[in-house]
Structure 1
Amino acid sequence: MTATQKFTKGLRIFASDIAQGFFEITHNGFALLGLAVMFAVITLTARPEIRQAGEIQLMGWLQNRQTALTGIATDMEANDRATATNPQSLPKQQAAVAYWLSKKYNIAPEPLSALVAEAYETGARTKLDPTLILAIMAIESGFNPFAQSPVGAQGLMQVMTKVHTDKYQDFGGKLAAFDPVTNLRVGVKVLQECINRAGSLEGGLKYYVGAANLEDDGGYAAKVMAEYNRLQVVATGRSVPMAPPQVIPVHMPTKAPVAAENVASLANS
């Protein structure tokens, strides 16, 4: 064997040794990586709180990154907090009512659909016609969840929050008056008390508006009943002309002492 051949053979052996060593190192490295991944998966499976903490941290980082890039703070829970429902997901009767009210009062159908669904659910539970509940919301606030009268009636159903503070305790406090669904539920409770006290629907509406001791309720009961009758027809699927929305002069300052007295007596009865 010549010197050149010996040199070539030695070079091959050297290269082979290097290749073998590299293979063993990388093989062992991948094995260690695989073991690390396996242990990490086992740990995250056995300790879900660690996984949740990691997910929260990662989501926070991604949100901060998105805010830095766009200049708009993100909130992945905003969609869950929104009081809105796809009207197409409602039963046909409820969808008809939601679309009709949406057009009449210039309110988006999605939030109205959520209120319609809640009115039907609450109505079934309290034995009150849901279209009556919706009619009162229409006349009282025009479906403005942030409405407030001169004497302090607030929200969709214009409940006297200061008088009925106790009714909001189970909902976290009086600021819940501006949560549409909570205001609806509390308003229905007050309406039930008014109807039971008066002994009739029309009389209950007079109590509700704070005009129980007055000869005239300013046409309030008539407006509610007219809208109630229209909504009953809408719910059957028939076409109903849209009268212009009423401007609501209810809970007027001149009625404040009477309103406070009657609603307070209901709250304590």
Structure 2
Amino acid sequence: MQNTAPDICAVSDPSPGMSGPTTIFDFAQEAGRARTASTAGQAEDVDLGDDDASDADDASDALAEASLPADAVPATRTLPTPAIPVAARASAPELAPDQQGLVKYIVSRFNVKARDAATMVQHSYALSAQTGGRITASLILAVTAVESSFNPRATNGKAVGLMQVYAPAHSDKVRAVGGLTGLLDIGKNLKIGTGILLDCMRAANFNVRGALARYNGAVSDATSTYPDKVLLEKVKLEHIQTSVQPINPT
């Protein structure tokens, strides 16, 4: 679970310069400028499948234990899954070979929908670019893997979403993204979580292991295995990134 002490890594939104695109199209466009888009054959290789309707009642039950102070939660209590634009449903997002390899890995290992996995990968790449590479996409995804197994609706006490943002410690940031409902959104959760992680990196003088200990609230726990778990997952993800070869159209 993400750190619970607000004085350890208090900044839970990306630092100045971290503000940026918030839709799948904006992130795809930014990622596309940094990397060559995949061929049509590659896009077909990732089956995004059909969209399943979300169950708002189940989400409400899951978040019952993560309630914030009244002033930090929006008036509405319904928790609809953010709608995917029609254009996004109509065609697969274009993915570079390394991104496509990560999507396949996440889908097969964590039983995640391909569309959600693609969105997570695209957001992670864009957020990494916004940090100037100080936080890599592989690190963002590795933290997400350990924290929630890539489940956008995961809750653990008062920690919510992909990067298990500890809502009470960051109530102002949570309120800014629409309260607990906002933490269920893939892009918003990754943006807040990456911001918290960046602040932890700064507090640890950019020592990754030290930053991960802070993110997990285990700075004084010498027996914590959390940094090792994240770093092991990061190695796996980076191996996939470097081993995937471009697919030439036939």
> Taking structure 2 as the reference length, what is the TM-score of the superposition?
0.59
Name stretches of at least 5 consecutive residues in structure 1 with no aligned partner: 1-76, 240-269
Provide, for residues 160-211 of structure 1, a one-character-per-residue CA deviation record: whole Å limited to 9, x for no partner: 0111112234323343111121110000011011111122110010011111
Aligned to 2:218: 211
Counterparts of 1:117 and 1:85 in 2: how far apart (Å)?
A: 18
Higher CA-based Rg: 1
Counterparts of 1:87 and 1:175 in 2: how far apart (Å)?
A: 26
Q: Identify the match of residue 235 of structure 1 among 216, 222, 241.
A: 241
User: How many angstroms does 1:237 deviate by?
Assistant: 2.6
Aligned to 2:191: 185
RMSD across aligned C-alpha pairs, in angstroms? 2.4
2:98–2:244 Cα contact (<8 Å) kept: no
Aligned residues: 161
Provide, for residues 35-55 of structure 1, a one-character-per-residue CA deviation record: whole Å limited to 9, x for no partner: xxxxxxxxxxxxxxxxxxxxx
Runs of 4+ aligned residues of structure 1 deviating over 4 Å after TM superposition are 81-88
Aligned to 2:150: 143
Q: Identify the match of residue 94 of structure 1 among 86, 95, 99.
A: 99
Counterparts of 1:86 and 1:113 in 2: how far apart (Å)?
A: 12
Provide, for residues 216-248 of structure 1, a one-character-per-residue CA deviation record: whole Å limited to 9, x for no partner: 22x111010001011111011359xxxxxxxxx
Q: Identify the match of residue 181 of structure 2 among 154, 175, 179.
A: 175
1:176–1:183 Cα contact (<8 Å) kept: yes
Give the structure, 1 or 2, with the largest relative contact order (CA under 8 Å, sep 6 or more). Answer: 2
Aligned to 1:224: 230
Letter in structure 1 aligned against 2:144: M
User: How many angstroms does 1:155 deviate by?
Assistant: 0.6
Letter in structure 2 aligned against 1:163: A
Partner secondary structure for residue 236 of structure 1? helix
Q: Does 1:132 align with 2:129?
A: no
Counterparts of 1:161 and 1:83 in 2: how far apart (Å)?
A: 30
2:119–2:186 Cα contact (<8 Å) kept: no
1:165–1:174 Cα contact (<8 Å) kept: no
Name stretches of at least 5 consecutive residues in structure 2 with no aligned partner: 1-81, 246-250
Q: Does 1:120 align with 2:139?
A: no
Aligned to 1:163: 169
Letter in structure 2 aligned against 1:215: A
2:102–2:237 Cα contact (<8 Å) kept: yes
Against the structure 1 CA distance between its residues 105 and 122, is the aligned structure 2 distance closer, same or farther, given a 3 Å change threshold?
A: same
